[in-house]
Every structure is written in structure tokens, then in C-alpha cells.
Structure 1
Amino acid sequence: MSLASSGNDVGSAVQRLRSTTRRKILRLYPVLVLPVLAFALDCLFPLPPAPRYSPIVLAADGSVLHAFLNPTQKWRMKTKLSEITPALQQAIINKEDRYFRYHFGVNPIAIVQAAGRNIFRNGRTTGASTITMQVARLLEPKERTFGNKLLEMLRAVQLEAHYSKPEILQLYLNLVPYGSNIEGVKSAALLYFQQPPDYLSLAQTVTLAIIPNQPRVLVLGKNNERILTERNRWLRQFQQQHLFPDQDIEDAINEPLDAQRHAAPTLAPHLARRLVSRFPGQPIIHSTLRRAPQVKAEDLTKNYVRRLHELGISQAAVLVVNNRTRAVEAYVGSADFQDAAGSGQVDGVRAIRSPGSTLKPFLYALAVDKGIITPKLKLPDVPTNFSGFRPENFDKSCAGEVTVERALTYSLNIPAVRVLADVGVPVFTDKLRDAGFKSVAKAAPRLGLSTILGGCGASLEELTGLYAALADGGNYKPLRNTALVEKKTPTPKSRLSALLVSPAAAFLITDILAQRTRPDLPMGYQNSRHLPKIAWKTGTSYGRRDAWSIGYNQDYTIGVWVGNFSGQGSPALTGADVASPLLFDLFNTLAYNSPNRWAVPPATLDFRLVCAETGLVPGEHCPNQLIDYYLPGTSSARHCEHQKEALVSADSTMAYCRACVPAAGFRRQLFPNPLPEVLAFREAQGLPSTRLPQHNPACSLVRNTDGGAGASLAITSPLDHAEYVLDRKEKQQMLLSCAAGSEVRQVFWYVNDRFLRAASATERVFFRPPSGPVKISCADDHGRNVDIRLQVQEL
């Protein structure tokens, strides 16, 4: 073979190879181009946006508490895959698209059959629409034309590429029409049968399966007889197909059709709106509410407030919290959401109101932890001037001295202010801020001693959370009303868990608040068998505008507010009279069968003997003693000095110090040694009181060298740093009074460092002050001195 012929053979082989390769590429060209083209078309013509659902708020068990219209004013509640029961799927698929699970969105066989029927007029005219094609039409409604039908087919194929079969079926069941503005099986099930789809019977399921084809003709509540006939026809057809057991079919056929349109669920309207606003665009919101407690709480509140209308009281709010989980189980923002005259749409759970006395238990718990008080300690309950602030008790009276537990159970104001002055306002408000009190946190720099009497703002939600912390041994956790989590910045400190007070302090306060011999026990409950075992505290704001009652046991904390959203007060509006009865009714209804468990003293608590007269550790002269709780290493160990031993003459007319006591003719005697303000109060009230006799006038030493320095001297009138405006024409005078120890017999008054007059320790002195700044001084016969300054203006 020549070299030329060999070269020609090689060239031919190369040409044949190129030709073969070109043919193979041409064959693969559609395979390579079509996916790219499909992807490009999918990008150029994206699927219609997801349907806009009706927001629904679910209870903890998954039932619908509240539903809202969607933005297009339709009832279209989202049906989850888990709610599509096998019976519902089988009925829908068998009726609408028997080969749904096998085709790619378009059923070619059904198209050919439908074309034959439509062309030759043989049988019923059909459109051969698959479930996927119906979804495409429902997502993008268009006029029924041949061109639009082709577009539906293309959209159906596109849907099949994007979604699984169960997801397409879910879309279909969410969009199918049921007449009027009702769309989707969940909306239809709730509005016609008042049941979720997965709770429907077979008869009800088939009923919902047949209506979408003729929603304007088969209207539930209007055409029930016609729907019943159509339903049973399809049930017989399903029986022939052996789709369901024969007995189930027979039972479904015999089931009557008693369906009519009902209103959408509207429980917990305030919380529902709050959650929808908090999670915009969320079709399904899971709340922590329990349906039964919510229904009972709403009914009790509405009926209770109806009885209060004649007293000028129009509203109430209730919050029920599970102490173990801090889940809100009932949320009543107002007595009647539809009450426009009473501003029923205002959310009383979140409204900022004056808390009255409801913060006192928390204050006393803080004081226990600081070692300032124990339950049996006695506090002065006398008119007191706290740097210009003169609080009064609710009943305008004073008791002189009261134990801590009585001061709390009787909600006395003066002892509470005294305890707050000892604890410190900043310490108190800082703890409230840790417990999520937002308005207190904002106003903290401006708050003073009046805070404990309601001089700050708080909501029912904040107060109930605070009492839930007491029920949980002082451990604060933020309340939960939903299982959803917001995608926001890290949780602030005020919403984190915190130990506000020790378990020991929480137990002592709980033990005090559980006492039933107290004035705020509701009328009719004194001998009632239905008195729940709870710890509770009431509160009434200034002007009787707000009535509070908050109680708890081991399982639940319930907060109640009663009043008017307008802020109008009522003479009958007190926590004990109008808020506590509702609180007790709620506990008896919601937690009547809860386990009868109660708090037990923690190991950090112990007992000790204290003086019955003061609640302090017994001193040398304390014959009457009783047992009291205390915190070892924390509670004050100050010894009692309620009696003072003095050396007096035989006739008790003269007292001696150790420097001037005679060799004979004297004796030892015990004298009461109360605080000066308590002694002054007793004498002003005409109560029995005993002062030390006059000191030996012949004694040349300073009169307080007898070792009995006594209590401090205090001016009780006028007020320090106050401004007085007097009428010049009426020649008004000013009162001078003081509180001195029992050993003081005489005091000396000075005005602007000039002697005014001498007076007995309990005498009330009147004088006419000069205009301008005035300095008033008081000295006693034991060498003590006190000054105050004030401003006087004459008009």
C-alpha cells in the first residue's frame, strides 16, 4: 500500500468520527437545552405569591381560640399537613383526581377523554382539571378560556416541580371555595361544624369534599337537603369502590346533616390581637392559653362585672399563670371586648395603673433578706413625717405599734413607708426593674417613698409575674403567652430569670399572706367551705380608681384588676370588696381540684425566742416571750430595751443617776422605754403612759450621765424643709410639737436662735412665725437638741 492511499484512509476515518460526534451532539442538544430553557422560563414567570391566610391563634391543645379575616376579607385558615386525615385525602382525591399521585400535574388520558366528551357531546362536559391544575387556577384566577387552560397546565407542571404531592394537596385544601368568603377546609370545618378538620366524621368529611364543585348551589345552612342527597350519592359511590368500610359508610349515610354557619372563634381577643401584632404575617400562632380556663375566666369576669355596673364599675381584667412553667393559661383583657361605652377594647392586662398596696409583700421580703425585719418585730404605726411626706393609713387611724405580719395583712401604710426608708428606694426600684417593671425602670430616678403606696405605674401582667416569683421561692421568670420566639436582639436583663428574694423571705411572706383572719377577706367567705388555700394581697389606688387582688398557691398565680378604664373612681372600689370576691371565685373554679400542697420552710430558716412586746431578741427585762422565724446570720440580733431600769426616790417623784444616788432611801423601778414618736402618740391619744420622774435637781453633773441616753428628740410639727403660706389678715399661727423620750419632762423652743418659751414634752405650742427662712430649734432637759428649717410666706 502506498503512502498516499494510507493518508487518504486516515483522513476519511477522521471525517467519519467528526460526523458521528456531530450527530450525537445534535441528538443530545434537546436534552441539554430543555432544562436550561425550563429554568429560564421558571425564572421569567415565577409562581404566584403564596396565599394570604387568616391569622389564627391556637390554644395549647391546638384548638382555635381566635381567628381573623385575611387582608382580602376572606376566611382562609391555613390547614397543616397533619390536619389532613387519610379519610379526607381519599375522599378528595377519589372525587377530584383519582390519578393525582401518579401524574406530573396534567393527566393526558383525562384530557383525551374530556375532549371526546366535549366534542361528541357524549356524557357530562368536563375540563379534565387535575388537583394541581385547580391549585394553579385558585392561585391565579382567570377567565375560563382555551388559552388560559393551557396556562393552567404549564403552571401545574411548574407546581409539580416546586412542591411535593402532599404540599400540593395541602394548598388545594387551603384554597377550595365554600361559598361567600369562606375558603379552605379548615375555615369550612370551623365555621360550619365548629370542629377542626381532623375531628370531622366521615359524613362531614364527604360533605366538605363535594361542596367546592358547586359552592354557590350547595350552601351549608341553606341547601342542606340537596347537600344531603349529594353526599349520600357519593358515599354509595365510595362504597362501590370499597374506599371505606361498609359499616362506616352506612353510619355516615344515616348521620343527619345539621350544619349552619357560625361565628368565627373569638376567645381571648386582647391576647390574640397582641400576638398577631407581635408576629405579623404568621398564619398560625400557638399561644399558651388553655381553652377551658379561658372560657371560664371570661364568663366569670363578664358576669361579675355586670353586677358591679350599678356601683359605677364597668371593667375588670384577669391573668392566670401556671407557676411551674410561667405559661399564661387565661388572659382576660376586659369584661366585654364589644363594650364600646366601657372601652372594652383596652387591654387591662397591660394597662399601666397605680398598684396601690400590691407591692408591699415584695418590699417586706426584701427587708427580711436585709435583716431589717422578722414577722413578730413591732414597727411604729404613728403619724410620721418622712422629710415632708406624711403618709396615712387607709382608715385614717394609727395603732401605735404593730407587728410586721399585722402591718402586711392589714396593709398599713405608715409602717410600709418606714420599711421602705430603711431598705432604700433605689434598692427597691432596682429589684422591680429586674422583675420587668418597665414604667418603674423609666421613672426610677424620680420615685420616692410614695412608691410603696402606689406612687408608680405597674400593669397586671407585671404584678402577677412578681407574685408568681414569690410562689416559686423568690425566683423570677418572665411570663410566656406563646411558644413562638421572636427574631430580635438578645433578651434584656429584665426578661431573664433572676432570684429576686431568698426562698426563706418568700416563704415568710407567703406564710403571712395565707392568714385568713384579716380585714380583706371577702364578705361571705369567713365560714365558707369553698375558701381556697391561697396567699393573697389586695390593693386600692388613691381616689379608689383601681382595685387589685392577687393570689397564689403552689400551682397557680391569679391576678385581678377591677375599675374603669376612664380612670373614674367609685366609693365602692376597694381591693377587698370588689376584687377579692372575683379572685376567690376564679380559684374555686379553675384550681379547685389542684393538689392541696403548700410551701414548706426552707432549711435556711430557723426559730428563736423574741420579746412579745417588741419582737426583738429578749433583753434583761423581757418576761413575755414567743417564737419567731429568723434568718441566722442575717436577721438583726439587737436586744430588746422596751423597759428601762431607773433609780428613783421612795415616793417615785425623783430619779437619780449613779453619781447622785443617795446611800439610802431609793429603789430600782422599771419604766416603759418606747420610741419618742410612739410615746408622743400614746399621750396625744390619752392612752396610759409613764415617764421617768424628774431628775434630781441637786445633781451637778450633766443629766444624761445616768447611762440612759434615751431615744433621740424629734420635731413633729412643723415639717422640715417645707414651705408655708400664711394669711397676714387672719394672723395665722404655727404649731410646735415634738416627740421625746420618756425621761424628758421639759423642752425649750427657739426661733431663729432666739428663745421662745419652755413647755412640757407633750405640750402643743402655737406662735406666729416671721416671713422668710425660719430656723426652729428644740432642746430637752437632758441636753439634746434638734433643728429644722422651713420657708414662710405671708399673703
Structure 2
Amino acid sequence: MKSSSVVTFIKRHPKKLLLGLFLVIAYYFCLPKQLFTAPTATVVESSSGRLLGALIADDGQWRFPEVDSVPHKFETCLLLFEDAYFYQHPGFNPVAMAKALAANIKSGRTIRGGSTLSQQLIRLHRGQKQRSYGEKLIELILATRLEFRHSKSDILKRYASHAPFGGNVVGLEVAAWRYFGLQVHQLSWAESATLAVLPNAPSLIYPGKNQDRLLQKRNRLLYKLYKNNRIDSTTYQLALLEKLPQKPFPLPKKAPHLLHYIAKDDKGKRIRTTIDENLQLSVNTIVDKHYQHLRQNQVHNAAVLVMDVNTRKVLSYVGNTPTDKEHEKDVDMVQAVRSTGSVLKPFLYTAMLDAGELLPGMLIPDIPTQIAGYTPQNFNESYSGAIRADKALAKSLNIPSVRLLQDYGVQKFREQLNFFGLRGLNKPANHYGLTLVLGGAESTLWDLCKSYASMASTVNHFIETSSEYYKGEFIAPIIKDKDQADFGEKSTEKTIFDAASIYLTFEAMKEVNRPDGNESWEFFDSSKQVAWKTGTSFGNKDAWAIGVTKDHVVGVWVGNADGEGRPNVSGVSSAAPILFDVFDLLPRSSWFQEPLDEFMPMETCLESGYLATEICPKKTVAIPNKENFVAPCMYHQQIYLEDQGQYRVNASCIDLSNAKAESWFVLPPLIEYYYKRSHPTYKSLPPFLADCIQDSGKQMEFIYPKNGSRMSLVKNFEGKKNELIFKLAHSKPATTVYWYIDEKFVGKTTHFHEIGLLPRVGEHKITAMDTSGQEAVISITIE
């Protein structure tokens, strides 16, 4: 019967049914899914949820993204002031509406509103249209639809996020910051009451205006709270004493450059970052302190990045100093592409260890060098003759690095650097040449810190996984708190460099001399072991310092954003002091564990560091476990001495069975010339007995100028040209050397082989010949 009655009704009243169906559908779709489409501010928070900074919305309003919750105090104040039956009504309050209507009719004008928070939210959604009974009806219908769709909690959050609080302040969260400089959950009862009454009359908040009216509204609400037992008498009395806000507070600017960096991809969003707020504030203070000193040398910019090695999270991001617009304060120097200076040297050192082409103790020539017209210079403009590879890295010597790069191959090293994804490093190997390892390349502090962190993590993971690697070890830094590092699958194969090579690199970097005031760091128990590297670009434009521990990476850049170089700007003097001040803020880390499974024992020459030969004094060292391409020691010779051990002998003058055989450490003449200055224990080969026929090995070499040099003769104060000084190294300094220009004899020297000459403009052949007939020849051009 029921079903037949329904069918009968449908047949009799099809239009009413269609109309009803239309109204139901219209009601269902009358409210858009997204109530508010206005742009919101970009909000960046620390890992603990504290506000680091915000960018105003595109429409000029301080409107934060919607809040996750409404604090109890503000909710209590708001509902008591605006909508006491919020949790009971279906979107409208008939009683309140009837009372408002009666009051308005009696007064002849609108003096009271009966809108619920749901209706007020609809009014905000509709753009605060002019009040009328027709508009009220629309708001009522939409408010009921709102109640069907959203929970009371959601409605309250949306109202708190979009209510006007005066001027260009929209939403509770930003109002708390602008008027009280506090987070919403930190507001007192008096502050919460002040903000609760503002959406009802937002014009009251203008500084210096309507203060009495605002105070009266706030105090009436506080009294209402007291009378309804929401606050006690003491709280009420204390709340009445609190003053109203007098002027807007500025929003926090704890990481302004990070804010702009995040806004590039997440504009208008609320992003909780990985930043440690306390560390960020402390690093800001350190940068400010050093900036006050640096600007005295007209150095205006600096940047610091701190990363957690194990999680890859960025803990502190300081993009620049608190300088001014004239000195590019808004440029983010963490992301700026700059000349790398020497900070790529550890990558070359690691690559050669990994390839089996280098050992830490190997002697590398450190002498005046010219390669294909390129003449590298050490930063201190001095030479050591020869130096251990690990010491050359620790001292950041340019000439040994260039020689290593030449031996290893620029193209091969350039291709390996692609693996690190260094922005700015985008040209082929032949563009950079040998300058690739001295600052000819460019990159960012962000990418360099990422690379150093990945190398450190490689060693850590190898230990933690019982000698395995992760395929995704070299990943980007993490800045969003919700993101997690994904290192990929485990593998027995290295990613790019093995753990042993990286470990040996960090061991060498640990020995770098620290800046002034920290020279004796290793003698203090509280000192941190840090593997660190500095770099200074050509013209003193960029100063770098990057440090690594088992747990953290700290990177520092110092210079001028506009590229102006300044005297005395260097990695050691300008960036390193900031680096160690920042490390002092971080927890102390234990040193890296040695990846024993990636090492093997090897006998090397005690003095040269090359693979030991039969005549070398030996020592056993641990080297990366791989095929080794390092040459046997070429610096030890077996010689014979007469009984007294003062002279060399050979078969031409003595029966060698009566001579003493001895292994002797012998360097080439030019290397020996500089090596002896810093190694007083070095002994040159003894001279031969007078009756012995001497061998004809290379015994002399030009120190200056180098073969193929082009130079000009400089005039002195009297207008006369200064002589060009020619220098020669001889394995037997006492030998007389005869000098010739273009086959013409010009003089002789003994002991100190230096001679001043005045060649004419043009090409010349310079010949030096000693009494035994050996000669050294170079060609030069005088311009």
C-alpha cells in the first residue's frame, strides 16, 4: 500500500516533486567546496612550530593559512561574546534572531545582530555584503548547509582564520603576532578578550584611536567571563590591569632568506621546517658579531649553513648579514653561485685515493711550476720543494694540487664532479683546465655542504651497516620537517668514493691549522675534532670554510655579494673564525670510526711515501683496499761510500767489495733546492773521490725563469732598466757554472748560482754549463 501511495503521489504531483528535487540539489550545491580563495601569506616555522618569518599575501593582507586549532582561552572569549549556544544550534539561533529583530524594530534602526558564528563565517565568505533581510535569509540557508558539511571545530577554525582584526590583519594567528608579539597559545585572558571583540568592530584597533571604546568592550567581556565562572576573581582583577596594544609588532625575521627560498615553491603555504630555532638565533648573533668586524674592511656579506649529517636536515640557514640594501642584504648567499676557491681539493684527494693513484704520505713536488702556459702559485707564495700529499691538502697548497690534477686527468675529475650535482659547475673540462681545483669552477654553499655531508654519511653508514653502502647516499638537504632522507637500497658497491678514501681525506683535513686563537686546539680535552677546509677565490672575492664532524656539517661563505674583492679576505682569516664559533654551539661529536674492512696493509717508503723498494727504509700503512697504481719509490738510490763515509765511490776507482753500500734519499736538483730550506736533516749526496769517474745524472735545473717565459724588464726610479735575475739549482753548489746568452759567454758563478743580465728585446737562448760539461738550457722572450 505504501509503495503504491508513493507512486500515486508521483503521478499526481510531478511538478512538485521536481521542484522539491531541484531545491534539494540546489541546497546541496549552494555552498562551494572551498569557502575562501583569497591569497594567504607564506609562513615558515621552526621544527618546534615557532614562527621564523612570513611574507605578506599577494593582496597586501596579513592573512595566514588556516590554523590547526583554536586555543581554549580565545574560544571561550569568542563564544561568550559572539555565540554562547554555538555548540547547540544548527547554524542559526532563532531566539537570538527574534531578540535582535524586536530590538531593531523598537529603535527603528539596526542596533543588534542575531548572527551565529556560522552565519558570520558565511558573511565573510560572501565578501561582507550590505546587511539586509534578504541577505540574512541567504546567510541562514548557507549557514545550515555549512553545519551539515563541517564540524563545529572546523567552523570555529575557519572563522578564527578569516575574521578581520583591523587594518590589513586577517585571522587570529597573525593578529596575536601583530598586536601582542605572541603565538596564539601564549595569549593571556585579557589579550584573548581583546582579540575576541575585534572582529565585531575591527576599526577599534587603530593605534591611538577608539581606545576607550575598545577598553570598555574588552572589560565587559572580562566581567562576563568572571560572572560565568570562566575565570576567578584574581585573574579578573589582573586582567583589567593589562594595557591595550598601542602599535603593531613586526613579525619575526629569524630566517628571512630561507623564507624567500621556500616561497619560490611553496608560496602562500605554512611550512614547518627543520630549523632549530635556538641554534638559528645563536648563529644569527655570531654572523652579526663578525659582520661588525668584517665591514671595517668593507666586507658586507656572509652566509652560514648547518646540517645534520645523519638526517640531512638543515638546522640553521643564515643567508646574509644584517647589512643594508646598498650592500645586497636581500641576496641569499647560501644559494648564490660563487667561485669555489680551494674547497674542491678534498674531492680530488679522495678521488685519487679511491682510484689507487695516491697515498697520503706520497711526496708531491712543490716547486715553481708552469704547465702549458699556466703558472699556479701557492697562497703564501713560497715553495717547500716536496710535501706529503696529506700535508699539501691540510695546508691547501696550490702547486701540489695542480700537479695531482694533471696526473689524474682534468676530464676524469670533471666527470666525477657531475655526480655531486654542483650548481654553477656546468662547463666542460677544457673550459676550466687545471684551474678547476683552484677556484676556476663555481658552486653554492648549499651544494657544497650537501656534498661534504654525503661523504661523511658514507663513512657512518659503512660502519652502521657492517660494510655496506647506500645507493642514494648523495641526496639534497632536507628543509621541510615532514620530509625524511631516503638513502635507497643497500649495496656492497660504493656510490662514488669508498669509505676508506673518504676517511683518509677527513684525517688529513683534521690536521689543518686553525685560525688565530685556536692554534693549540689539539691539547685541550674539550676541543672538537673537525675535518675542515678553507678556500679563497682569485682576487680575494670569496672566502670559504666548510667543516665536517661525524654528526654535523657547517659551511661558511664571506665576501661581497657584488663581487668586489677586498685585501686580507681569506678562508682562514674571514670564514674560519665564524665556522668554529658555530661549531662551539653544537654538541661534541666522536671522531669517525675507521672503516677497517675497506683497508689493507701496504709497505711504503718511510721518506717518500711511495711503494717501498728493496733499498727503501719501510713502514707499513693502511691504504684503501684496491688495485694500486702508485709507482715504487724513485727517490732512493743505492750508493757506495769509502771507509770514512765522506765520499762516494764506484767501480772506476775502488773495489766495491771494500766499500760500504748505503741507501740514500735523493731529490732532483730543483726540488732539493727548496726542500733543504725546510728540512735541515736532509743530506745531499756526498761528492765522489777525486779519482772516480762520476755518473752523468741530471745535476742542475733552472729555478727562474721557466722555459718559454715572456717578460718585460722593469725600470727603476732613475729610469734605467733593472737586470733580470737568473737562478739555477745545482746538486753540487760548489761547482763553477758558466753562463751564456745566445752562445755568448756572460759570466760565471760558484756556490750561489744567480746572475743578473740585461737581455735585449726579442727571443733568447740561455745556457748554463758546469765544469763537468753538463748543461741546462731555456728559451725566453723579452717584450
Task: Name the stretch that deviates more: 195-204 or 34-43.
Answer: 34-43
Match of 1:533 in 2: 529
| CA deviation string 1:186-226 (max 9, x = no partner) | 01112223332234344433332122222223568877776
2:665 aligned with 1:667 = no
Q: Relative to 1, partners in 2 of residues 1:749 and 1:165: Cα closer, same or farther, differing over 3 Å?
A: farther
Match of 1:502 in 2: 498
Match of 2:352 in 1: 367
- Verify the 8 A CA contact 2:340 2:537 in the aligned structure 1: yes
2:560 aligned with 1:564 = yes
- Verify the 8 A CA contact 1:320 1:330 in the aligned structure 2: yes
Q: Relative to 1, partners in 2 of residues 1:634 and 1:439: Cα closer, same or farther, differing over 3 Å?
A: same
2:26 aligned with 1:33 = no
| CA deviation string 1:211-244 (max 9, x = no partner) | 22222235688777765654443244345445x4
CA deviation after TM superposition for structure 1 residue 566, in Å: 2.7
2:408 aligned with 1:423 = yes
Q: Relative to 1, partners in 2 of residues 1:654 and 1:585: Cα closer, same or farther, differing over 3 Å?
A: closer
- Verify the 8 A CA contact 1:356 1:541 in the aligned structure 2: yes
SS in 1 for 2:38: coil
2:370 aligned with 1:376 = no
CA deviation after TM superposition for structure 1 residue 558, in Å: 1.0
Distance 1:723 1:379 in 2: 24
CA deviation after TM superposition for structure 1 residue 31, in Å: 2.8
Match of 1:129 among 93, 112, 115: 115
- Verify the 8 A CA contact 1:116 1:122 in the aligned structure 2: no
SS in 1 for 2:185: helix
SS in 2 for 1:320: strand
- Verify the 8 A CA contact 2:28 2:145 in the aligned structure 1: no
Q: Relative to 1, partners in 2 of residues 1:748 and 1:156: Cα closer, same or farther, differing over 3 Å?
A: farther
CA deviation after TM superposition for structure 1 residue 276, in Å: 0.7
Match of 1:611 among 605, 615, 635: 605
Match of 2:517 among 500, 523, 527: 523
Q: Relative to 1, partners in 2 of residues 1:41 and 1:617: Cα closer, same or farther, differing over 3 Å?
A: closer
Question: Letter of the aligned partner of 2:390 in structure 1?
Answer: E
Distance 1:683 1:253 in 2: 82
Distance 2:139 2:502 in 1: 68
Match of 2:478 in 1: 480
2:542 aligned with 1:576 = no
Distance 2:122 2:263 in 1: 29
- Verify the 8 A CA contact 1:392 1:414 in the aligned structure 2: yes
Task: Name the stretch that deviates more: 568-577 or 316-325.
Answer: 568-577
Match of 1:494 in 2: none
2:110 aligned with 1:120 = no
SS in 2 for 1:366: helix
SS in 2 for 1:440: coil
Match of 2:637 among 628, 641, 644: 644
- Verify the 8 A CA contact 1:466 1:476 in the aligned structure 2: yes
Question: Letter of the aligned partner of 1:23 in structure 2?
Answer: R
Match of 2:284 among 298, 306, 320: 298
Question: Letter of the aligned partner of 1:690 in structure 2?
Answer: L
Q: Relative to 1, partners in 2 of residues 1:115 and 1:410: Cα closer, same or farther, differing over 3 Å?
A: same
SS in 2 for 1:441: coil
Match of 1:600 in 2: 593
TM-score (norm 1): 0.79
Q: Relative to 1, partners in 2 of residues 1:182 and 1:595: Cα closer, same or farther, differing over 3 Å?
A: same
Distance 2:185 2:773 in 1: 89
Question: Letter of the aligned partner of 1:481 in structure 2?
Answer: I
- Aligned-pair Cα RMSD in Å: 4.8
Match of 1:96 among 43, 64, 82: 82
- Verify the 8 A CA contact 1:547 1:579 in the aligned structure 2: yes
Distance 2:721 2:589 in 1: 67
CA deviation after TM superposition for structure 1 residue 431, in Å: 2.9
CA deviation after TM superposition for structure 1 residue 533, in Å: 3.1
CA deviation after TM superposition for structure 1 residue 674, in Å: 1.9
Match of 1:319 in 2: 305
Match of 1:209 among 178, 193, 196: 196
CA deviation after TM superposition for structure 1 residue 38, in Å: 4.3
Identity %: 27
Match of 1:403 in 2: 388
CA deviation after TM superposition for structure 1 residue 185, in Å: 0.6
CA deviation after TM superposition for structure 1 residue 608, in Å: 5.2
Question: What are the within-5 Å matches in structure 2 for residues 62-211 of structure 1?
Answer: 62-80=49-67, 82-121=68-107, 125-139=111-125, 140-157=127-144, 159-160=146-147, 163-211=150-198
Match of 1:468 among 420, 437, 453: 453
SS in 2 for 1:330: strand
Q: Relative to 1, partners in 2 of residues 1:738 and 1:443: Cα closer, same or farther, differing over 3 Å?
A: farther
SS in 2 for 1:562: strand
Distance 1:667 1:459 in 2: 63
CA deviation after TM superposition for structure 1 residue 163, in Å: 4.5
Q: Relative to 1, partners in 2 of residues 1:783 and 1:456: Cα closer, same or farther, differing over 3 Å?
A: farther
Distance 1:554 1:683 in 2: 39
Distance 1:106 1:787 in 2: 104
Distance 2:638 2:6 in 1: 129
Distance 1:246 1:252 in 2: 10
| CA deviation string 1:53-77 (max 9, x = no partner) | 2221111111111012212222112
- Verify the 8 A CA contact 2:410 2:433 in the aligned structure 1: yes
Match of 2:541 among 541, 545, 556: 545
CA deviation after TM superposition for structure 1 residue 684, in Å: 11
- Verify the 8 A CA contact 1:286 1:482 in the aligned structure 2: yes
Question: Letter of the aligned partner of 2:592 in structure 1?
Answer: A
Match of 2:424 in 1: 439
Q: Relative to 1, partners in 2 of residues 1:581 and 1:218: Cα closer, same or farther, differing over 3 Å?
A: closer
| CA deviation string 1:680-726 (max 9, x = no partner) | 65699999633775999989xxx88xxxxx78998877767x68477
- Verify the 8 A CA contact 1:435 1:500 in the aligned structure 2: no
- Verify the 8 A CA contact 1:375 1:404 in the aligned structure 2: yes
Unaligned runs of 5+ in 2: 460-472, 488-492
Q: Relative to 1, partners in 2 of residues 1:373 and 1:108: Cα closer, same or farther, differing over 3 Å?
A: same
Question: What are the within-5 Å matches in structure 2 for residues 739-758 of structure 1?
Answer: none
Match of 1:341 in 2: 326
Distance 1:668 1:167 in 2: 97
Task: Name the stretch that deviates more: 568-577 or 229-238.
Answer: 229-238
Q: Relative to 1, partners in 2 of residues 1:117 and 1:392: Cα closer, same or farther, differing over 3 Å?
A: same
Q: Relative to 1, partners in 2 of residues 1:462 and 1:22: Cα closer, same or farther, differing over 3 Å?
A: closer
CA deviation after TM superposition for structure 1 residue 153, in Å: 3.7
Q: Relative to 1, partners in 2 of residues 1:732 and 1:265: Cα closer, same or farther, differing over 3 Å?
A: closer
- Verify the 8 A CA contact 2:599 2:622 in the aligned structure 1: yes
Distance 1:252 1:595 in 2: 46
2:47 aligned with 1:52 = no
- Verify the 8 A CA contact 2:204 2:213 in the aligned structure 1: no
Unaligned runs of 5+ in 1: 1-14, 492-496, 705-709
Q: Relative to 1, partners in 2 of residues 1:399 and 1:132: Cα closer, same or farther, differing over 3 Å?
A: same
Question: Letter of the aligned partner of 2:534 in structure 1?
Answer: T
Q: Relative to 1, partners in 2 of residues 1:209 and 1:602: Cα closer, same or farther, differing over 3 Å?
A: same
Match of 1:11 in 2: none
Task: Name the stretch that deviates more: 15-24 or 230-239.
Answer: 15-24
For the pair shown, the structure with the greater C-alpha radius of gyration is 1
SS in 2 for 1:341: helix
Distance 2:232 2:210 in 1: 27
TM-score (norm 2): 0.80
Distance 1:361 1:442 in 2: 20
